[in-house]
């Protein structure tokens, strides 16, 4: 299922604003906010190295974490983070306060298996991925790490819909009014010549 939970230590921030945020980053910290659960937003500072490590480990946005602030342990789910567009440096993180039975909306990546068992792909068809991720509603403590789409038997012209995906108990797609397409098997594109026709003199 989901990645293993982890714990981060944080400090409460007394000051907020651009000036204090810049100072935090210079000192190796990232400004962040914990919100939700009908409580006032809590401004915190986290270790840049720890947050960067968690983001690069994968599953950051779908893994519940515990943040310890002034001795209090708070269960959270990352909801957004901003990167510096030039340096790929984490600038800020938003966390949603959750409990085990909190229903959350998360984007979960789609994995495709058994391409070698797809007759359409065997004869040269191409897997056209319509959705690389699907937005799901699920319990905060039971978020799938990914969804699996089985390509066994898929022929050219076939569409693979959300109804073909086995979802864990308590998990459902946010889009509920239609059986949306995740991928299709399309015919190979006709060969295109590289050369341009000679223009008339």
Residue 193: is its pLDDT beyond 80? Answer: no
Counts of helices then strands in the chain (DSSP H, E): 3, 13
Residue 199: is its pLDDT beyond 70? Answer: no
**How many residues can be counted in the chain?**
201
Residues 165 and 109 in one domain: yes
Tell which of 98, 127, 161 closes a domain. 98
Question: Average model confidence (pLDDT) for the chain?
Answer: 88
Residues 77 and 23 in one domain: yes
Residues 89 and 147 in one domain: no
Determine the Cα–Cα distance for residues 35 and 107; give it in Å rounded to an integer. 19
Residues 91 and 64 in one domain: yes
Residue 200: is its pLDDT beyond 50? Answer: no
Residues 35 and 84 in one domain: yes
Determine the Cα–Cα distance for residues 88 and 86; give it in Å rounded to an integer. 6
Q: What is the CATH number of the domain that holds 15?
A: 2.40.240.10
pLDDT in tens, 76-131: 999 999 888 787 778 899 999 998 678 999 999 999 999 999 999 999 999 999 99
């Amino acid at each position: 299922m989901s990645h293993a939970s982890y714990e981060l230590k944080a400090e409460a921030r007394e000051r907020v604003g651009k000036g204090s945020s810049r100072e935090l980053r210079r000192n190796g910290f990232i400004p962040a906010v914990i919100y939700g659960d009908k409580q006032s937003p809590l401004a915190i500072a986290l270790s840049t190295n720890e947050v960067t490590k968690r983001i690069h480990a994968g599953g950051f946005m779908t893994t519940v974490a515990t943040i310890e602030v002034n001795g209090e342990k708070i269960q959270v789910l990352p909801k957004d983070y901003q990167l510096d567009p030039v340096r790929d440096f984490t600038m800020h993180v938003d966390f949603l306060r959750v409990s085990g039975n909190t229903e959350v909306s998360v984007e979960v990546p789609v994995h495709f298996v058994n391409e070698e068992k797809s007759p359409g792909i065997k004869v040269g068809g191409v897997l056209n991925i319509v959705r690389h991720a699907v937005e799901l509603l699920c319990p905060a403590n039971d978020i799938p790490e990914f969804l699996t789409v089985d390509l066994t038997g898929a022929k050219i012209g076939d569409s693979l819909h959300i109804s073909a995906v086995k979802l864990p108990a308590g998990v459902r797609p946010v889009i509920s009014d239609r059986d949306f397409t995740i991928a299709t098997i399309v015919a190979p594109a006709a060969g295109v010549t590289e050369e341009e026709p000679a223009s008339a003199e």
